[in-house]
Amino acid sequence: MPRHTFLSLLAVLCVAAGAAHGYAQTYTTGAAVMAAVDARPAPKALISTMTMTITSRSGQSLTRTMRIWSADGGDSEVVKFTAPADIAGSGFLSLKRADGSTDAMVYLPALDRTRRIAGSQKQQAFFGSDFSYEDISDLQTGTHETYDNELLKVDPGPVYVVQATPRPGTDTSYSKLVLHVPEATLIPSRIEFYRAGALLKVMTIGKTTVVDGYTLPSEMRMASASGGSTTTLQQSDVSVAASIPAEVFTERFLTR
């Protein structure tokens, strides 16, 4: 059976299954689901406080606090740690280029210098957490315009399960993502990250909050598939802004 015919049949079966379970669904393709996710109302710029809690396999945990400035729908982002003292002043700058690639750098006050994050370095842990530099760069965006999106199934809710496969040239280290998208919020409640076909880690969004009419994630948890450590991000003190001065998204602001 030709692939496009099979996918069309799968979409029809998904609709029929949804009706049989007593819930109605709006979208019948993965592309339509992700287009709706990208079209969901979101602030162009915001400033917030993020609390990061890293919990080891043994149950020991450490907490860090950071301030985040995000603009251009998440394409421009600055993260500056404020506590504890041993990490305060450290920061991260991420800028999306016009070609879709990301320019990123980290600042370490102990060394009094910035370091550019390039290539495979983007896969490294973000300040010892289960999030990578790549994950933090994409935290506010979540767009998948350069992905092929396939609707795998529709769970009760409805919740759409979409497989997102990056097209050639996409700036990502992941071979695919599997997203669980509730129609009620269009904010993925679960994202599975795969590399070389193997499940690497899972991010879940447990809580959301409404700020100035925008529904935003307020608690995210990343866990390794191997069952090691976990990292929870809790967003608070969120301020939606019409814009943020361009000078904020510079190396000079990052280091001061």
Q: Enumerate residues 6+ apart whose C-beta is below 8 A from 1.
A: 9
193 vs 145, more confident? 193
3-255 maps to which CATH number? 2.50.20.10
**Given a cut of 70, is residue 145 above it in pLDDT?**
yes
d(CA 106, CA 91): 6
**Given a cut of 80, is residue 22 above it in pLDDT?**
no
Annotated domain spans of the chain: 3-255
Mean pLDDT over 103-109 rounds to 94
Convert 171-195 to b/e letters by CB count within 10 Å (16 or more is b). Answer: bbbbebbbbbbbbeebbbbbbbbbe
Element (H, E) at 30: helix 30-39
* pTM recorded for the entire structure: 0.85
d(CA 114, CA 106): 6
What pLDDT score was predicted for residue 238? 94
pLDDT 10s digits, 223-246? 999 878 899 999 999 999 888 999
241 vs 131, more confident? 131
d(CA 35, CA 145): 8
Query: Residue 243 in 3-state DSSP?
Result: coil
Mean pLDDT over 85-97 rounds to 94
